[in-house]
Amino acid sequence: MANVIPTLDIGPWLAGGDPGFPDALGAVFARFGFVSLVGHGVPPAVIDGAFAAAADFFDRPEAFKRTVQNQANNRGYVPMFDSKRPGQKPSGQEAFSMGHPDRPEDPELRALPFHAETPWPDLPGFEDRLTAAYRAMFGLGQQVLAACARHLGAAPDFFAEASAKTYSNMRAVHYPPAEAVAETSDFGVHPHVDEGLITLLIQDMNGGLSVLGPDQAWWPVPPDRAAIVVNVGKLLRRWTGGRYAAALHQVVNRSGRERYSLPLFVHPSFHTLIDPMTLVGQQPPGDDFAPIVAGEKVYANFKGRSVSWQQPAPA
């Protein structure tokens, strides 16, 4: 059997009764950068509702979906084949991207990239169902980061303070079967590393996600209705001075069916300084670990990937 990422039960940690969980999580993040969490407490009804809302939206005509498109601010509808990198075919997916439900009151922050308002489609229950999934997953993400803080010897509220005005975002993603888009795209998502602190992923039962393991082989991430997958992003790898790995991963939907997933990309506040000295007390040499401003770095990378880039207007 092929290697698979480890599974941990976060339930006792959420209940306040598992002091060993942070070290177990830290060890997994250090070696693999990926973990499958069970006992996460996100209600099945919330997950099912979000998937149903996503399927309803993506089944609508293209013209309807494009009425809520605001790619300049990473909000709303992202059309099929609309994101690619130089020298690559576009990814075979379409998505709906929502920002954090609670936008900051500060006008300066509201005008920044990634704090834009989400344009919601006129579909009964769509906003409520996705927002419920976002809030449940974001709360879980904060518990994961609290465990990371414990493992790294930081203050318990280190990441909560750093994320007080987060620009986190969630996507509902639709992947047609690989054979349906084969002439245009080789991947649902090309091999990549996520930009933020951590990503929480709920995937349906059709599979297709794989991770580059420590042996440099692609490890499948089998679907599990009881699990949420969590992976380390570039910002957390940098902040930990490389103590945590940020693994390449990809999606190819070979199931022959429509595939849906719900990734939540957890980010700190836009102006947060990502400096290993502030978290682990040392800064390894090299540009990979030089201090950066979180939002500025992620925004620059987003502009570089966007097919139809334009400067966003203040919100």
C-alpha 167/C-alpha 178 separation (Å) is 32
d(CA 170, CA 265): 6
pLDDT at 2: 59
Residue ranges covered by each domain of the chain: 7-305
Which pLDDT belongs to residue 114?
86
Whole-angstrom distance between the N-terminal and C-terminal Cα of the chain? 51
- Model pLDDT, residue 1: 43
Sequence-separated (6 or more) residues with CB below 8 Å from residue 45 = none
Residues 299 and 114 sit within 8 Å (Cβ to Cβ): yes
User: Tokens in use for 30?
Assistant: 């250090």
Predicted pLDDT at 187: 72
Work out the angle at residue 193's Cα, subtended by the Cα atoms of residues 192 and 195, and round it to the nearest 5 degrees.
125
Give Cβ neighbours of residue 1 (< 8 Å, ≥ 6 apart). Answer: none
- Specify the amino acid at residue 277: M
Residue 171's nearest CA partner among 272, 99, 108, 256 is 99
The topology under which CATH files domain 7-305 is Jelly Rolls (2.60.120)
25/167 Cα distance (integer angstroms) = 24
Per-residue pLDDT of the chain (315 residues; tens, 9 = 90+): 458 999 999 999 999 978 999 999 999 999 999 999 999 999 999 999 999 999 999 999 999 999 999 877 789 999 988 766 677 778 789 999 999 999 999 999 998 878 999 999 999 999 999 999 999 999 999 999 999 999 999 999 999 999 999 999 999 999 998 888 877 777 777 889 999 999 999 999 999 999 999 999 999 999 999 999 999 999 999 999 999 999 999 998 888 999 999 999 999 999 999 999 999 999 999 999 999 999 998 887 766 554 332 333 333
Task: Say how far apart CA 166 and CA 160 lie, in whole Å.
Answer: 9
Distance CA 270, CA 225 (A): 33
Task: Compute the distance between CA of residue 56 and CA of residue 69 in angstroms, rounded to an integer.
Answer: 17
Of all helices (H) and strands (E), which one includes residue 192? strand 189-192
Paired with 307 in beta bridges are none
CB 176, CB 94: distance < 8 Å: no
The pLDDT of residue 310: 32
Q: What is the pLDDT of residue 308?
A: 32
Q: Which two tokens stand for residue 75?
A: 């909000």
What phi, psi does 171 have (nearest 5°)?
A: -125, 145
Rounded distance between C-alpha atoms, residue 188 and residue 173, angstroms: 10
User: What are the Cα distances from residue 297, in Å, to 15, 69, 199?
Assistant: 36, 24, 17
Strand pairing category for 7-9 and 34-38: parallel
- Pair type for strands 198-203 and 209-212: unpaired
Q: Which residue has the tokens 């991947």?
A: 187
> 219, 196, 203: which is closest to 144 by C-alpha?
196
Give the pLDDT score at 178. 86
Using an 8 Å Cβ cutoff, are 175 and 93 in contact?
A: yes
Q: Which helix (H) or strand (E) holds 209?
A: strand 209-212
Q: Which residue has the tokens 């998502």?
A: 189
The pLDDT, as a whole number, for residue 43 is 98
Neighbours of 155 (CB within 10 A): 10
Q: Which residue has the tokens 């209705």?
A: 225
